[in-house]
Structure 1
């Protein structure tokens, strides 16, 4: 008999804790886990043979649902292949529950197959790591397994969200007989955690409002954050009625107000930064893309800096942090506007902060926007910058755009509010190129929206195994910028001038996405010039199945246009 009842009950605990999606990679040692979840009727199962892709597909699903997704793999190096996705989920605060099958403890380092040191394999990149017993004979072992399953599920979905790992040593035999049923125990114990919403005491609000009143120049800056109508409405009211500039990269998803500052990446290098330095900086969200913005705040630190975050880490990116305010951005900005607005109404007064400060930021933003438009209008050749601009303007309102790292995210960020009609996602937790295809696949499996991925050729080739999932979602559309290598190394100082550029940095290649598309039954389009792009983009957008548009560009022309854009803005400032 090989019915491992505690593992069947583990699946039931996860279901009772609200988990509904499981991403499974095939393997033998993990058979008992796979069967426990696959035979449970409450889960939606996704089978992905490559664990590295599986991790990112799970991340994409969890990112869309804002719920925990389970990963299951066999023992050995399979578990290590989850590491890039686990790390990204940790820094992007996405909820995953990783179940890695393992050999029993006594067989580690005894030359047994698929046996490595799996306990705490992900180090500090998980919220917590557990290893459950491999022997189920004692009631305390059963108690521990049940308690661990409940604790891990609760922890993964407690703010800040993140990955949690359970290592599961499993003894043979672990395949049930054909006639054996896998039924959860009647007395499976479920431990629930009551959800609460963080609020600030009245005394704290008084202190914060006093600091607000003392500041003449107030700047709000958003890092990576999912689109939130509540947050964007509150920020719109603050910038319009209180004359406070609101700045955000494309991944901040600040929508619905043309007053938001979006071209900071283009103008801060040439602006009079003393005029833009804040007295009070209020930040929220995760990472910022714009290096110019980060350097500006690091070189011009604010007197006071509030960071709105329910994270327990002290994040002091700009060398100026004075207050961590542990509430959600939705809650904070909605509340502070209401309190200030009421205070001004009662006093019959106008805001005391310097309204010219917002005008200065807005003036720089509008000028950068105008210069960028002039520059783009004068470009006649197809290159990465012009093709991204054309594609972005062609995408329908409300679409999701997933963006790979390296140059694609930089192109999009430079386009400022030209992407405000799109919901933006990018793996900026670690900012690696791995997993971008798989993440977009995971998102498209769930969101039922038209889901676009903008990706460079190297990142696409690096993550092709995500396309092995069957069936691929019909709502997924991929745009590949193929410049035959890692074109970013022509853009940045250092490698661009080295004789080793092509061989050791760009790693030139002759691969295309055509055969990959054929193998994956993806409808394929390719363009080499503007006429081709204008002709093919409507066909690409109107297909009702998974499709891929490959845009071929010249790396030297790409570098010329990117550097030319910055030179044009600088020389006309």
Structure 2
């Protein structure tokens, strides 16, 4: 048996489980792992020198593939640099298989280089963490490694999805000798797990439909969710034929149907919410962006709240959950409509829920769209809000829009159905600014669609190491809002009034994206006023190479425009 044969076989087991992409950060202790995958013809290899960027690039790839991506790094702090991406993947339920090389256990805390406590390094932010032995001579050790790798691979494919970690202590020597061939074992045991689809029993459906009939005001709300035509079709039927209001943040990717509600972030702070409180609330998806919507439901709890989720955690964002229903949203809403529709057909009756409830939501939504349109039409200066609006109106149908956290995601969410033509992504698992550039890069490396990233200057600068890889994907275009700092703190009532605002919260700076673009051979555009912005925007959108458009805005004017929108809506309500 070759010295590190179990690690060579590890790569083959991953391949047998359908994994095809591996993101590798260079290192010495990880050499055996790197070579096992590098010399395997079945994998597409991506080399990223910065582990923090590598983690998010892998996340963006897995997000598009809907399949696990493998990460490989050396020992020590390299493994810790994956942590932001691992936590984001955990809360977004995106599958990664993380392979961290390590020193043998006996060398921990013995002043040996690149040696830290790596076992369970990601804590509760992985589905499971494994450690394999560093000595492979005994048959039981090789059996344990095979079993462990199979179990880890199975977990990456099991719902709820998420990252899985294998810590791999490796003894020297870990480089092959000159001319040594690396090949997989003749017979590798691959363990399969038969997946089953979660469904509800006849009795459970009977109880749910009886409960449905007891409520007049029923509301369906979607949190962050991948674009899903089946799901949207089912929701549209429920909304149109059963008179049920259906709403979602921009990240819910509810699109293609005029009945979907999208402006709740605009009107809920101003509308008469007494008549909007639901009797039955049905939610699905991950986190909600709209603070106004969360506060509305917390202050106006439903009598019953059903959350559709295959998550193992009980999520109670609105302080009202009464039922967690562990099935997919597509399955639930397709079956819900079919069963209610059949029941109404057999009875020869119309829906008994209050149709005026949906009309109230629609009325508020339509009024918000009109008032928002009036306000935007009255703005002539270039600021963050106007530039985001003009950008979104110019993007091609079906394009992907990746959005950084802080203000960019809030601007987009306020624009309602103006973004319904697009497929929306954002790292809202932990809602950090780190990794948004790298995530978009990873996504663009996989999809053939045009990918646009809307990002603030601080988030762009924070993650520019993602742009060190070569080649960069030409279908990616990056739109940078440069207001010289963290402009969101000027929008928040607390820090906005403090004398320390600029130095300790906004962290004002004079950096731009120009030098980064030059270093990475990215076509660069810039604009500082409405005229120059309108001149360069078409060129930015039409170039067939990766490009950056940096828009320079005034943080004071941005705050005026954003707060002015809220005031305008209130005055015209």
Tell me the TM-score range normalised by the shorter chain. over 0.9
Alignment deviations for residues 197-255 of structure 1 (CA, whole Å, 9 cap, x no partner): 11100000000001111110000000000000000000111100000000100000000
Task: Name the counterpart of 2:268.
Answer: 268
Contact 1:2 / 1:177 at 8 angstroms: preserved in 2?
no
- Helix, strand or coil at the partner of 2:23: strand
How big is each residue's C-alpha offset from its partner over 1:256-290, in whole Å with a ceiling of 9 and x where there is no partner? Answer: 11211101011111111110000000000000000
Once the two structures are superposed, residues 389-439 of structure 1 have per-residue CA deviations (whole angstroms, 9 ceiling, x without a partner) of 000000000000000000000000000000000000000000000000000
State how far apart, in whole Å, the 1-side matches of 2:242 and 2:564 are.
37
- In 2: Cα distance, 1:212 partner to 1:46 partner: 50
Paired residue for 2:154?
Answer: 154
Structure 1 partner of 2:141:
141
Which moved further from structure 2: 269-278 or 102-111?
269-278
Residues 77-102 of structure 1 deviation map (CA, whole Å, 9 limit, x = unaligned): 00000000000000000000000000
Alpha carbons 1:2, 1:174 under 8 Å: kept: no
Deviations 1:325-370 (A, max 9, x none): 1111011101100110111111110000000000000001111111
- Listed as ranges, the matches of 1:73-92 within 5 Å are 73-92=73-92
Within 2, Cα distance between the matches of 1:115 and 1:157?
Answer: 31
Runs of 4+ in structure 1 deviating by more than 2 angstroms, as ranges, are none
Query: Is the 8 Å Cα contact of residues 2 and 175 (structure 1) preserved in structure 2?
Result: no
1:484 and 1:387 map into 2 onto residues whose CA distance is 16
Shift of residue 195 of structure 1? 1.5
Q: How many angstroms does 1:31 deviate by?
A: 0.1
SS state of the match for residue 63, structure 1? helix
8 Å contact kept, 1:451–1:477:
yes
Provide the secondary structure at the position in 2 that maps to 1:382: coil
The 3-state SS of whatever aligns with 1:466 is: helix
- Displacement of 1:521 after TM fit? 0.4
Aligned: 1:311 with 2:302: no
State the alpha-carbon separation in 2 of the partners of residues 311 and 241 from structure 1. Answer: 30
Match of 2:467 in 1: 467
What is aligned with 1:326? 326
Say if 1:2 and 1:173, in contact at 8 Å, map to a contact too: no
Secondary structure of the structure 2 residue equivalent to 1:494: helix
Instruction: Tell me if the contact between 1:243 and 1:358 (Cα under 8 Å) persists in the aligned partners.
Output: yes
1:521 match: 521
Q: Runs of 5+ in structure 2 lacking a partner? A: none
The residue correspondences of 1:423-502 to structure 2 (distance < 5 A) are 423-502=423-502
Aligned twin of 2:292: 292
Counterpart in the other structure of 1:369: 369
Q: Which residue of 2 aligns with 1:118?
A: 118
Q: Which residue of 2 aligns with 1:216?
A: 216
Normalising by structure 2, we get a TM-score of: 0.99
1:42-72 Cα distance to aligned partner (Å, 9 max, x none): 1000000000000000000000000000000
Q: Is the 8 A contact 1:310 1:325 kept in 2?
A: yes
- Match of 2:408? 408
Q: Please name the residue that 2:164 is paired with.
A: 164
Judge conservation of contact 1:3–1:182 (CA < 8 Å) in 2: no
CA distance in 2, matches of 1:29, 1:430: 31
1:550: Cα distance to partner?
Answer: 0.4
**Separation in structure 2 between the aligned mates of residue 236 and residue 285 of structure 1, nearest angstrom:** 17
Q: Deviations over 1:526-550 (max 9, x none)?
A: 0111111111111011111100100
Instruction: Say which SS state the counterpart of residue 493 (structure 2) adopts.
Output: coil
Tell me, in whole angstroms, the C-alpha distance in 2 between the residues paired with 1:274 and 1:304: 17
Give secondary structure in 1 for the equivalent of 2:177.
coil
Quick one: distance in 2 between partners of 1:208 and 1:511?
A: 57
Q: Within 2, Cα distance between the matches of 1:375 and 1:545?
A: 35
TM-score by length of 1: 0.99
Over aligned residue pairs, what C-alpha RMSD do you find? 0.7
In 1, the alpha carbon distance for the partners of 2:531 and 2:391 equals: 13
Corresponding residue for residue 55 of structure 2: 55
Q: 2:559 is matched with which residue?
A: 559
How many angstroms apart in 2 are the aligned matches of 1:236 and 1:536? 38
Partner of 1:541: 541
Deviation at 1:2, TM superposition (A): 6.7
Alpha-carbon distance, 1:3 to partner: 4.0
Specify every segment of 5 or more residues in structure 1 that has no aligned partner in the other structure, as ranges.
none
In the aligned structure 1, how far is the partner of 2:273 from the partner of 2:542? 46
What's the CA shift for 1:178?
2.4
Contact 1:305–1:323 (Cα < 8 Å) also in 2: yes
